[in-house]
Structure 1
Amino acid sequence: MRVSVVGAGLGGLALAQGLRGTGVEAEVFERDPGIAARFQGYRLVLDPVGFQAVRDCLPTHWHPLLDEIVMPASAEQLVLDPRLNEIGRLGAGRTGIVVDRQVLRHLLLTGLTVHTDAALTGYQLSADGTVRARFARRDPAAADLYADADLLVGADGVGSAVRGVLSPRTTPTDTGVRFVIGRTPLTDEFAGLAKAYGSKITDGGVSLLLGAMRFRTPPRLAAERLAPEVTLPDLGDYVRWAMILPPDAPSGTSPDEASGDLSAPEAVLSRMDGWHPELRALIEQADPDNSTLLSIRVVRPGERWAPGPVTLLGDAIHATSPTGGNGANTALRDADLLRRRLIEVADGRRDQRDAVEDYERRMFAYGAEAVRSSLERLPAFAPGAKPA
């Protein structure tokens, strides 16, 4: 059995990794020119379902390494004013596991066949029930790449090219909310910000969210000791920060608009007049090359498409608002569920069409709920935001 996965994000890689050694041949096709070609995000909190899903997609002999590069999530989820005074509570603190997205992505990449610089331009269904996908290359002299498979999986994000063919009426909705995200090394200078990690800092207009990423062992060293065949990024502890901007934010805060000569950290600092000096120092010391301004768009699972050898996974079919904290968790849940169904097909215990339909039925239900719950939390972080 052959599976072509479009998109080298966490969900697509987890699926491909989970199929290794099962009798299912999986290849990944990524439109970016390289694996590290663009910003991919930082610290994630995986809930018990998401963490178990990624664990089940990995070989068991990598589990000690996985355990070494994560940390428990612990936060009071306070609401603080810009001078770090407590003014409220968000509710019970989240439980789960904190992991760095880049580190996890490199672990999931290990041993996979990944074709970069491969942008899907379309696919054709064959009479024998298989599918042929076509990928364009950036180099005009390079020939298109073709891939034949029993199943094509679109794990290619909010702007999914696979979804554009399979379910063209399922389109992203822009919430109007923007956020700037970045990373700052975690040094002793920021010890006084401990209570702000996991909390919301707000002046009533914009919200700043901080999250600490502390490694038990630096990822590269952990891999060298526990799984030498794995190469992980050489990262140290850091603070992930994100400023969420309301829908009525001034011109120049949209990713599609020019913001003059301001870098992402400078755009945040311009909204922090009078804020606590440690908060300002945190943004001032950020890495400008790994900070960016993003829009919050969602994708709701809509009408089901005709059953066949093409399906969707992750943000391609149920993109959530980051305020829900459930996007990566839901994508990893998809990967594990689809992995299990395809192994049943490879073992002769299930028909492929039935297996994929079962996956889609379950995924549509919990995916729609993930989008709904993420949007329900959005106004608490972006005053004036309305359900998309």
Structure 2
Amino acid sequence: MSEERTEPAGVSETAGGTAAESDGPAAAPRESKPGGSALAALALIVALAAAGAAAYQWYHDRGAGEALRHELAKRLADMEAQNKDAVARASQASAALREAEVKLGVLESKLAESQNQQIALEALHQELSRNRDEWAFVDIEQSILLASQQLQIAANVRAALIGLENAEARLQRMDQPRYTALRRTLARDIERLKSLPLADVYATSVRLDDVIAGIDKLPLAMDARARAEAVAAPPVAADMPDWERVLREAWRELRQLVRVQTSNLPDAVLLPPDQVFFLRENLKLRLLGARISLLSRDAKSFQRDLNLALAALERHFDANDGGVTAVAASLRKLQSAQVQVDMPDLTETLETLRKLRLPRPKGSG
């Protein structure tokens, strides 16, 4: 820049020289003027200031670029981290979506199954609604058949009467004209059963059980004399000699080994002590046979077993004992019990049932 400033000065000097040659006295005062050097100095300062400003601007721009690069790098790192987090969340969301789709499929299958079950239940309900009368008729038929079996097999009038009354009540609730004939025959059978004399089989069976339970406590007739002799035996004196007491004890033991009994009955059976158990058991078996005959409504066998049991009681047991007398009285009272009753049949009602039996519908849905 100083060279550029020098060239004009040379030119000025040349021009000045030329002017001096042509105009000598007038050019001398221009060479001595100080304004040119001041301008040069000012231009130099301006140039230096411009260079400093340019250098400062360059330095400032360089720092700003570095900061911008650091900021961009930081933001890129943050964006990369956010991108990774977004990818992870997207993966989790995708997995959750797949799991939700699986659960949705399961729920849809369960919903379909539930709908199928509901459809089946509705169909079953409709079927039951359509066949309600048929099912009711089946129940009525079963009640009447069971009542007939109770009469013919067990002769149980009470159970048969309960079954027929239940069937008649069901028919009354249904209130259908087609069952009028059946209700009429049922009413007749119920009246016939109510008019029958009811044999109290349960009470008679309980009395027989009480008699059987008391057999082991009844004294035998052959034991009555032994008890009387034991009561009549004289007491042993306190001052009796020892040898006489020993002889008495030996004699009593000897009498236990050999027992002689007498009976006023010509056909009485005298049993040894070890056979008494079988005598009582035979009497129990006879009474059990009477109980079985009672339950089977076999009046002939019932009377025969009671007669044989009463004869054995009077023959082998002590008639003077109060327990034996009470048992004999109970057996005589049982002989008058009504065991057998002529049971009516339900033929007319069963025939009406056969005519009314509804055929089961096929292919109805």
| TM range, smaller chain | under 0.3
| TM-score (norm: length of structure 2) | 0.21
Structure with greater proportional helix content: 2
Whose Rg is larger?
Answer: 2
Determine which structure has the larger strand proportion and give its number.
1
Please give the TM-score of this superposition, normalised by the length of structure 1: 0.20
